[in-house]
Amino acid sequence: MNFDEFFGNFPALTITGLEQGAIYALVALGYTLVYGVLRLINFAHSEVFMVGTFTALWTWEALGYNQNSPSPAFGALLIALLAGLVVAALASAVTAVTVELVAYRPLRKRNAPPLAFLITAIGASFVLAESFGIGTSRAPFGMPNLIPQETLFTVFGAAVTNVQLIILGVTLVMMVGLDQFVNRSRLGRGIRAVAQDADTAALMGVNKNRVILLVFVLGGLMAGVAALLWNVRYGYTKFNVGFLIGLKAFAAAVLGGIGNLRGALLGGLLLGVAENYAAGLFGGDWKDFTGFVLLVVLLMFRPTGLLGESLGRARA
């Protein structure tokens, strides 16, 4: 244990952990939305995120940017980021909807057992990942350096960069927007009704299949936004880039209380900070290990997660 390094870098570890946790949280929202409505762990969601990273990259390449391109002027930068965001979000949403229509809906029509859904989810994940693996020769791809990291200010001696503020700001905006949509809009009431009791909601005129499609669209949109932020921050993608991110996002959703939107945000931020603290205290090799240990220990004492309220019982 290196306590001197840990306490010396405590503010920096916290800021970086919040930045990483914000990306986990956006991906976790997709897991928690689908589970809240269908009681299904959509393991293919990690590949929905992966699709977003690639489509954002291809959009930037279509606009003429590559790894060697200089950083664009503000106007061109804004166009590139907005184009990448829109394309990544739409591509991830379309991928998520395709998985629902092709893989899950036929199983629901046949009243398949839960194990069939679980196996199908894992299979869909591998199909998407391996399809991109074959198409990209399993090679990593670097991103254009659209936003050079610059220190804007310091907090207790720790630098806060423009990219970190963008990631945290976008995550909070998306989280608040989704929370308000689910809790206050007419479509959001339909989501909560199906999550609470699908049969009763159908008797009240709620179209269950339409609500399920909406849930997959929303989850895909969140994953697409997370994919763009990942590209900007970490600067690479690969066919299996979603595997570990998906596991951590799922852990974050369970940590906060799967089925709870605000719990996904809290779980993601907490997991990111805990990983960074462990890396500072024990070394980088302990980073991934610690997050899952934290999850197991917490669930031993609070099986429903930190905020364990289900999506169907969320208050307007």
Which residues form the domain of 10? 3-301
Torsion of CA 303, 307, 312, 313, to 10 degrees: 110
Q: Is residue 314 part of a domain?
A: no
pLDDT at 190 over 80: yes
Q: Is residue 313 part of a domain?
A: no
pLDDT at 314 over 60: no
Report the CATH number that the domain containing residue 231 is assigned in CATH: 1.10.3470
Q: Is residue 54 part of a domain?
A: yes
pLDDT of residue 313: 55
Distances (CA, A) of 186 to 71, 102, 172, 181, 218: 43, 27, 22, 8, 15
Q: Is residue 103 part of a domain?
A: yes
pLDDT of residue 311: 64
Residue that is written with structure tokens 């994919």 in the block: 227
8-12, 70-74, 229-233, 274-278, range with greatest mean pLDDT: 229-233
- Token pair listed for 99: 């998985």
Name residues whose C-beta falls within 8 Å of residue 157's C-beta, 6 or more positions apart in sequence.
11, 12
Q: Is residue 306 part of a domain?
A: no
pLDDT at 182 over 80: yes
Name residues whose C-beta falls within 8 Å of residue 272's C-beta, 6 or more positions apart in sequence.
17, 18, 19, 20, 21, 22, 23, 24
133-172 tens-digit pLDDT: 999 999 999 999 999 889 999 988 889 999 999 999 999 9
Q: Which amino acid type is present at position 167?
A: I
pLDDT of residue 208: 92
Number of CB atoms found within 10 A of residue 259's CB: 28
Q: Report the share of the chain in percent with pLDDT over 70.
A: 97
95-113 tens-digit pLDDT: 999 999 999 999 999 999 9
Backbone angles phi, psi at 64, to 5 degrees: 100, 15
Sequence-ordered strand ranges (E) for 111-201: 141-142, 151-155, 158-161
Q: Is residue 107 part of a domain?
A: yes
Residue 245 pLDDT class (50, 70, 90 cuts): very high
If we measure between CA atoms, which residue out of 30, 214, 49, 39 comes closest to residue 118?
A: 39
pTM, rounded to two decimals: 0.93
Domain count across the chain: 1
Q: Is residue 123 part of a domain?
A: yes
Would you call 70 exposed, middle or buried from its count of C-beta atoms within 10 A (0-12, 13-18, 19+)?
A: exposed
Distances (CA, A) of 259 to 3, 32, 311: 37, 4, 5
- Token pair listed for 225: 């936004």
Q: Is residue 315 part of a domain?
A: no
pLDDT of residue 310: 62
